[in-house]
Structure 1
């Protein structure tokens, strides 16, 4: 079913066949996919504030972006993301409503769009780099090969494809180490799955991580563990020109190893990673938006981690600092002239409160593991951050509903999970 609401005008249900046969009544400037993602809400607000007509699509109903005053249509897809059923549903939506640009932000959705790119681009412009550039950017080994040729520092490591290779990797790299999937999204028959990096500190952990990450036949990188600051460069690059560049560092991430940034600050472009990241983007010809991530070692030397060729979850800090990447991405994808942004505010702080709560809890649970902040320091840092002036993800006083929805959903899941856990303990005690 397609759930349709437009700024309080009421909901109505259209079956998929009806959506297919209906004559398109409205053309939206942009259809934002993966609307549960934080960057999707930022995109809805960015484009909506500029007077563009924006629709949003997700596979569930309770999505903060749907409540935004700038979301003119919410579409709930009954199919799982990354599946062919999702593709069919998306095509029905495009036929029914029309859209000028399609903006995805999740790995599974992007993999699906790339798989059927020729078919989709007959109807809509995809906010994705060329297929040649995407093939390199989503593959860490291909990216690192090019970076190595350009003279960038690469974490010491080896590529392995099976549990039998773990012993040799341990001898080569040692422990602790990071096990990374070469590609974050892998297809298996008609389904796909997303894989994330693992910190391993023992041979048994290494074996389990490799076994899990190669389950669908992919390969992994077994790399040295770096403990320095995590910094990232973001670009809007097109036709041989950089239209905007932005730098940030992550003070805390969730998970602590280096997942999504939950406390971050805008910084001046560092001379070393700024030049290195731009050379890499130009070499790959990675047009559109991209984020290039680095991690420094204990001596401050930067090492390339990966490239994200899509809007990143942390992009709101760039927007609040003065670089509206979602709008620049829309300009590029739609073929419009692209604004060139030369300056942004330095020292802006942004916090993802839910993620910061979770990473503090994980610091308590994982005490003593490499890269994890000691418990007392983690709690103090979490509390002290409330004294630092900063923006919060979801919170926009001109558009309060998404923050209310996000807080309500988090509270409901938190309280509900705690109640279920207590009931489970009660049943075990008296059964």
Structure 2
């Protein structure tokens, strides 16, 4: 049995490769970058270099040609961009392989942050107050009535890409226009403005088989990078019945298929607020696998056999981190807080790392080498 995994330069692709490779499944790592970190894994049997998904036609054409001439039982997209593009052209690609994804329309609905508030309202789910400037509701008017601080978010981006914070009306208007110019956004792509919720970040991850829940997992963010908000660098497995119920309600309502991670913020009063839905694998995937919810293998099993056993229980208080990136987080926290406990955190052992592995040592070497080269170029 064989699997093609996209976005081999990502850590979650490495987690998927290790999970499936340990079960003797043949792994091909696809990437638009030569010599990606996942391609250095002992579990990688072959590589596929494809054009950047930024050019969707060339990307799909290359993928289709490769799958036509190289049999793979399952295609697992990893990054948001490839996932949505592959979902759009799934009919063309499924001539050659199985692709366990939700429909393209469902993907667009749940990944678009401007559409999520109306869904949340329909389902009576709490969400931060969200605004989208228009001719009827101009930016200036919003800037005068919204409570600060606020977050400016691109509609279809994840991992804090394009995310900025504004602290007063002038700041909001300036940063909003700058975001539009920086990302060359058309009016139908303009970002949303969302009131900032103080609290702790959580992620509820789920696997669905054609509208039916098959597995779930919750993690709590301890640290993230950048420290103002981004992917978690240090997190712990936990449970939260209310968040899990909300995530299930949301995904079931949309007849979800495949994996997804629903992000929440637990405010200072203990009330969860829905932030966004990531319609693909997530950066903290390793924490789930270590805790006993092996999402990559469950997804593979579902794709190949038609279904998979339900996994609703797992180990809590399992800690994992990306030690290299978390070092940057701790450095920035120390600069801002001048607290010695941040320094003590550097000596926390043992811990589970997202990249470093005695059984599979080359990816961390490649990752650190890439970091050094980027540092030299700067």
TM-score (norm 1): 0.80
Tell me which residue corresponds to 1:74: 47
1:99 partner SS: coil
Structure-to-structure mapping, 1:27-426, within 5 angstroms: 29-77=2-50, 79-83=51-55, 84-161=57-134, 165-184=138-157, 195-214=161-180, 215-217=184-186, 218-267=189-238, 269-363=239-333, 374-377=336-339, 380-381=341-342, 383-414=344-375, 416-417=376-377
Q: Distance in 2 between matches of 1:106 and 1:204?
A: 35
1:95 partner SS: helix
Alignment deviations for residues 54-97 of structure 1 (CA, whole Å, 9 cap, x no partner):
101111223111011111101223x2223122222222211221
Q: Distance in 2 between matches of 1:123 and 1:211?
A: 44
273-282 or 209-218, larger mean C-alpha shift: 209-218
1:125 partner SS: coil
Q: Distance in 1 between matches of 2:343 and 2:18?
A: 28
Higher-Rg member (1/2): 1
Q: Distance in 2 between matches of 1:146 and 1:335?
A: 32
Alignment deviations for residues 238-279 of structure 1 (CA, whole Å, 9 cap, x no partner):
144322111101111112232100010001x21221211111
Q: Distance in 2 between matches of 1:88 and 1:242?
A: 33
Q: Cα gap change, 1:277/1:400 in structure 2, threshold over 3 Å: closer, same or farther?
A: same
1:91 partner SS: helix
Alignment deviations for residues 362-389 of structure 1 (CA, whole Å, 9 cap, x no partner):
446xx7xxxxxx3313x63254253253
Q: Cα gap change, 1:36/1:382 in structure 2, threshold over 3 Å: closer, same or farther?
A: farther
338-347 or 39-48, larger mean C-alpha shift: 338-347
2:228 partner SS: coil
Tell me which residue corresponds to 1:371: none
**Which aligned runs of 4 or more in structure 1 are off by greater than 4 angstroms?**
361-364
CA contact (8 A) 1:195 1:213 kept: no
Alignment deviations for residues 398-426 of structure 1 (CA, whole Å, 9 cap, x no partner):
11111222122223333x14xx5xxxxxx
What are structure 1's unaligned runs of at least 5 residues? 1-27, 186-193, 368-373, 421-431
Q: Cα gap change, 1:34/1:328 in structure 2, threshold over 3 Å: closer, same or farther?
A: same
Q: Distance in 2 between matches of 1:209 and 1:328?
A: 42
CA RMSD of aligned residues (A): 2.2
Q: Distance in 1 between matches of 2:343 and 2:292?
A: 27
Q: Distance in 1 between matches of 2:16 and 2:110?
A: 22
Q: Distance in 2 between matches of 1:400 and 1:313?
A: 20
2:338 partner SS: helix
CA contact (8 A) 2:64 2:92 kept: no
CA contact (8 A) 1:137 1:307 kept: yes
1:331 partner SS: helix
Tell me which residue corresponds to 1:3: none
CA contact (8 A) 2:100 2:257 kept: no
For residue 141 of structure 1, report the CA deviation from its aligned partner: 2.7
For residue 133 of structure 1, report the CA deviation from its aligned partner: 2.1
Q: Distance in 2 between matches of 1:208 and 1:262?
A: 30
What are structure 2's unaligned runs of at least 5 residues? none
Q: Distance in 2 between matches of 1:40 and 1:349?
A: 20
Q: Cα gap change, 1:124/1:161 in structure 2, threshold over 3 Å: closer, same or farther?
A: farther
For residue 195 of structure 1, report the CA deviation from its aligned partner: 4.9
Q: Distance in 2 between matches of 1:273 and 1:355?
A: 27
Q: Distance in 1 between matches of 2:7 and 2:360?
A: 20
2:199 partner SS: coil
2:84 partner SS: helix
